[in-house]
Structure 1
Amino acid sequence: MVLARLAIVLSLLVLAGCATTGTHKDDPYEDFNRSMYTFNKGLDTYFLKPVAKGYDTVTPTVVSDRISGVFDNIDEVPTLANSLLQWKWGSVGVTFSRFVINSTLGLGGMFDPASAMGLDRRDEDFGQTLAAWGAPQGAYLMLPFLGPSTMRDVWGKPVDGYLSPMQEIDHVRTRNAVRGMDLIDTRKRLLELDPLLEEALDEYVFVRDAYLQRRNYLIHDGNPPLPELEDDCDPIDDDCY
Structure 2
Amino acid sequence: MGIQITPSILNSDLSRLADEVARIGSADWVHVDVMDNHFVPNLTFGPTMLESLSRHTDIPLDAHLMIEDPDRTAIEYVEAGCGSVTFHVEAAGAPVRLARELRAHGARAAMALKPATPVEPYEELLPELDMLLVMTVEPGFGGQKFLDLCLPKIRAARQLIEKHGVETWLQVDGGVSLETIERCAEAGADVFVAGSAVYSADDPDRMVQELRAVAEAASSVE
Q: Same fold (TM over 0.5)?
A: no
Bigger CA radius of gyration:
1
* Highest RCO, 1 vs 2 (Cα 8 Å, sep ≥ 6): 1
TM-score (norm 2): 0.27
Higher share of residues assigned strand: 2
Higher share of residues assigned helix: 1
